[in-house]
Amino acid sequence: MPNFHRVVITGIGAVTPIGNNIDEYLVGLQKGTNGVSDITLFDPEQHPCKFAAEVKNLQSENFIEAKESKRWDRFSQFGVIAAKQAFNDSGLEITEANASRIGVIIGSGVGGLLTMESQAQILSHKGPKRVSPFTVPMMIPNMATGLAAIALGAKGPSSSVSTACAAGSNAIGDSFRLLQLGKADAMICGGAEASITPLGVAGFASAKALSSRNESPQTASRPFDAERDGFVIGEGSGILVLETLENAQKRNARIYAEIVGYGTTCDAHHITAPSPGGVGGAEAIKLAIEDASLSLENVDYINAHGTSTSANDKNETSAIKSIFRDRSYLIPVSSTKSMTGHLLGGSGGIEAVACILSLTHNFIPPTINYVNPDPECDLDYVPNNAREAQVRVTLSNSFGFGGHNVCLAFSKMN
């Protein structure tokens, strides 16, 4: 049997619709801040959904030179800014001696959709000679990883995950595995997304996935509520610095928490719909708990995928109940997507950060806009207000189109 290394979190960074750094994001989670408003990134007049959870007032020039930012898609900018935040927060230094032992994995469900759309318009209206030479490197989904590695000088394991809305969590889980096996000493990992574009919004709306509550956008993201009618698209990035415990201790790093479990499965059922009863998600939760050598009684909080769609919320509730049985009703389960909207491939990153903040600040983020209980969703969803609690172990669920399911387990250090 291999001698697995323990893996800890030493740095966190976040660019979100409710805060552009960790301090702002923490306050947003504690206050139940609503990040949803009318779309400003393009004119949504002809769209059936006219609102989203946009990143606002981001001072990108503090992290990226103006000349460079023009050559980067918005999702890459979010990923690099959050990565730099997490890296600076960790106190990690990359040198010639350790660069090959430090890697980057940043997931994205869609990649550079804004670039793809804008350059397609140029191609259509102005011809092929006017298409930017930066088109391909700007739109490919691995570029947040590549640019973060370049910016930080990380020459170790490097890849990108594209498992739709599970991508950020898969990136963290895959990084965890590399560190467990001793293939790296530190990994910068998470998710990034920027899909609030005409095509992105139109595509999800046509699929009947988005809320159409245009008369009241701030109440549109309402996971587990009986009147939910679809998700609210969001954008941003959440990044962690993971290290082997030995590496963190060797440099006397501050340790936020430990990542202790990773479960991942595929429904193999449908291109968008979850498997009936959430059986694939349930298996991912079971695998994460087993991987962490936890008992069901150890789990203090579950950060749900909780998209505010009818099928997801009902099936995720069923998945949790199938694993925890009677104890399901004693575990707080909340969806921070009620505040941030759904960041697609970026959601697993910011929700992992939310779990770590829950552990370090002993509180449980709320599910805001929870007004009308759904008989099929009957757990403790921490309605509307954050809750003080002693939190020792958290789970973070992420489920994506294509049937991808991920559960991550985080724990306070023992």
Per-residue pLDDT tens over the stretch 8-46: 999 999 999 999 999 999 999 999 999 999 999 999 999
pLDDT interval class at 61 (50, 70, 90): confident
What pLDDT was estimated at residue 68? 85
264, 246 Cβ separation under 8 angstroms: no
Asked if residue 315 has pLDDT above 90, the reply is yes
Asked if residue 353 has pLDDT above 70, the reply is yes
Backbone angles phi, psi at 60, to 5 degrees: -65, -25
Q: What share of the chain is helix, strand, coil (3-state, %, to 5)?
A: 40, 20, 40
| Four-way CATH pick for 7-250: 3.30.470.10, 1.10.1200.10, 3.40.30.10, 3.40.47.10 | 3.40.47.10
> Residue 9 has which token pair?
């979190």
Query: How do residues 144-194 score in pLDDT, each as one tens digit?
Result: 999 999 999 999 999 999 999 999 999 999 999 999 999 999 999 999 999
Asked if residue 313 has pLDDT above 80, the reply is yes
| Four-way CATH pick for 261-411: 3.30.465.10, 3.40.47.10, 3.50.50.60, 3.40.50.300 | 3.40.47.10
Strands 235-244 and 186-194: antiparallel
Strands 363-364 and 393-400: unpaired
pLDDT interval class at 2 (50, 70, 90): low
What pLDDT was estimated at residue 17? 98
The arithmetic mean of pLDDT across residues 275-299, rounded, is 97
Cα(334)–Cα(301) distance, integer angstroms: 8
Give me the catalytic one of 165, 189, 377, 407.
165
Active site residue 165: yes
Tell me the pLDDT of the chain averaged across its residues: 97
What pLDDT was estimated at residue 69? 83
Q: In terms of Cα–Cα distance, which of 25, 65, 22 is closest to 336? A: 25
> Residue 27 has which token pair?
């306050």
What pLDDT was estimated at residue 67? 85
Asked if residue 60 has pLDDT above 90, the reply is no
Ranges of beta strands (E only) in 118-215 are 158-159, 186-194
188, 179 Cβ separation under 8 angstroms: no
The arithmetic mean of pLDDT across residues 78-107, rounded, is 98
Q: How far is CA 303 from the centre of its chain?
A: 11
The arithmetic mean of pLDDT across residues 86-114, rounded, is 98
What pLDDT was estimated at residue 62? 86
- Determine the residue type at 223: P
What pLDDT was estimated at residue 1? 44
The arithmetic mean of pLDDT across residues 226-239, rounded, is 98
Q: Which residue has the higher pLDDT, 414 or 130?
A: 130
Q: What is the pTM of this model?
A: 0.97
271, 201 Cβ separation under 8 angstroms: no
**What residue ranges do the domains of the chain occupy?**
7-250, 261-411
Domains 7-250 and 261-411 share a fold: yes
3 state DSSP class of 56: coil
Q: Provide the percentage of residues in the chain whose pLDDT is more than 70.
A: 100
pLDDT interval class at 414 (50, 70, 90): confident
256, 13 Cβ separation under 8 angstroms: no
